[in-house]
Amino acid sequence: MAKIIIIGAGGVGRVVTQKCAQLSSVFSEIILASRTLKKCDDIAIMVKAKYEKVKISTAQVDADDENQLVNLFEKKRPFLVINVALPYQDLTIMEACLKTDVHYLDTANYEPLEEAKYGYHWQWAFKERFKKAGLMAVLGCGFDPGVTSIFTAYAAKHHFDELHYLDIVDCNGGDHGNAFATNFNSEINIREVMQKGKFYEKGSWKETAPHEISRIINYPNIGPKKSYLINHEELESLVKNFPTLRRARFWMTFGDEYLTYLRVIQNIGMAGIEPISFQGNQIIPLQFLSVVLPDPVSLAENYEGETSIGCRISGLKNGCPRTYYIYNNCDHRAAYLETGAHGISYTTGVPAALGAKMMITGKWSGTGVFNVETFDPDPFLEDLSKNGLIWHEILDQNLEMD
């Protein structure tokens, strides 16, 4: 058993906290911390009411402030920090972990505040420091990145001698009833989907204009949906850790209306991340926009439909061509009834809690900085199906991808 600190009290933090509370034989004490103490207190009250035996407390911390983090970690002395705050804050939290002898796990790679850009190199640069300190840092343990990477590792372990082509396909087939809203932090969400597309092919990276390449993909229980090739972070580590890959791409569904809103937001300057002067104050347009858009947590109550996220893979087994599809569908309504969060938060929060369990129980071990696909996928995926995210696999069928 181990004490943990969860940083972040949005929808994902809500799910992680409840899943850790359900696993009380692993997590002896939970401290939930964020910049807004009331959000933490509200979640803690709800969790205590549902899980009477859980030991949970809250704390206020600014995750941009390394000194505040160090003081909190020194006071609470956790075994592990689960970071579900903003990607901008990853490096600050990792620095605080190193200074206080605390293990680390997150769900999304670092992004610099001043530039909308993915990249693991900032966090991979911590490898030797974590190794020297005898600490473990696990990166990208959400769903995508996270489970999709573990799906890939599972395919490589059990079904392929060589992986050649990987397509990660992500469909949100749900409807929350709002004209426009984002499913998680709007600033991060909009920055993500407005980037140039990027994929790996024949040993090099190729770029496309945003939403330039699309195709219709058929998703289980949902049906055909227009899906767009976008840049996504796990591709960077997967092509590194599975060097036989000849091509790796990421596809995500967006409705026409959603993309129209995004283009308008960009065209009128509201997606800007450079400060502008407004009535004598410096503001960042995208941060202002995030204040006026619906709170992602508020979407959960009326969300209907499913998500479908998985990996479509082809390669060789015993010298013969093989195709493979491994995926999960998550029902928004079921996620809400269990946790009060929608399926997007649920599919990110459950893997984060289970990754922390893998670290605490020693199923995942080592010192340094790791992406999740470098670990044994079997114990994690066994737990995943037991904790609300049942996965399915289809072998040697037409995947409808070229």
Domains in the chain: boundaries: 2-139, 147-339+386-395
Rounded Cα gap, residues 112 and 116, in angstroms: 7
Q: What is the largest distance, in Å, between two alpha-carbon atoms of the chain?
A: 68
Is the domain spanning 147-339+386-395 CATH 3.30.360.10? The answer is yes
Which two structure tokens, joined as six digits, stand for 162? 């060589």
Q: In sequence order, what DSSP letters do the residues of 316-354 get, joined into one string?
A: EETTEEEEEEEEEEEEHHHHHHHHSS-HHHHHHHHHHHH
- The span from the CA of 347 to the CA of 351, in Å, is 7
- Report the candidate in 124, 114, 164, 180 with the shortest Cα–Cα distance to residue 368: 124
Strand order in the sheet with 103-106: 56-60, 27-34, 2-7, 80-83, 103-106, 136-139, 368-371
| Among candidate residues 379, 401, 361, the one with its CA nearest the CA of residue 154 | 379
CATH class as words, domain 2-139: alpha beta
Please check whether residue 361 is in contact with residue 287, taking contact to mean a CB–CB distance below 8 angstroms: no
Give the pLDDT of residue 183.
Answer: 74
pLDDT of residue 81: 98
pLDDT, one tens digit for every residue, the chain (402 residues): 899 999 999 999 999 999 999 999 999 999 999 999 999 999 999 999 999 889 999 999 999 999 999 999 999 999 999 999 988 899 999 999 999 999 999 999 988 766 666 789 999 999 999 999 999 999 999 999 999 999 999 999 999 999 999 999 999 998 888 777 777 667 777 777 778 899 999 999 999 998 999 999 999 999 999 999 999 999 999 999 999 999 999 999 988 888 787 788 878 887 787 888 878 888 888 777 777 777 777 888 889 999 999 999 999 999 999 999 999 999 999 999 999 999 999 999 999 999 999 999 999 999 999 999 999 999 999 999 999 999 999 998 776 666
DSSP-based three-state secondary structure for 245: coil
Q: What type of residue is 10?
A: G
Q: What is the pairing mode between strands 223-229 and 247-253?
A: antiparallel
Cβ atoms of 143 and 309 within 8 Å: the answer is yes
DSSP H/E element including 227: strand 223-229
Write the single-letter amino acid at 3. K
Query: Whole-angstrom Cα distance, residue 325 to residue 384?
Result: 17
Per-residue pLDDT at 401: 62
What is the H or E stretch that residue 307 is in? strand 306-317
- Amino acid occupying residue 101: D
In this predicted structure, what is the pLDDT of residue 359? 98
pLDDT of 42: 97
- Reduced 3-state DSSP string for 63-97: CCCHHHHHHHHHHHCCCEEEECCCHHHHHHHHHHH
* Whole-structure pTM value: 0.94
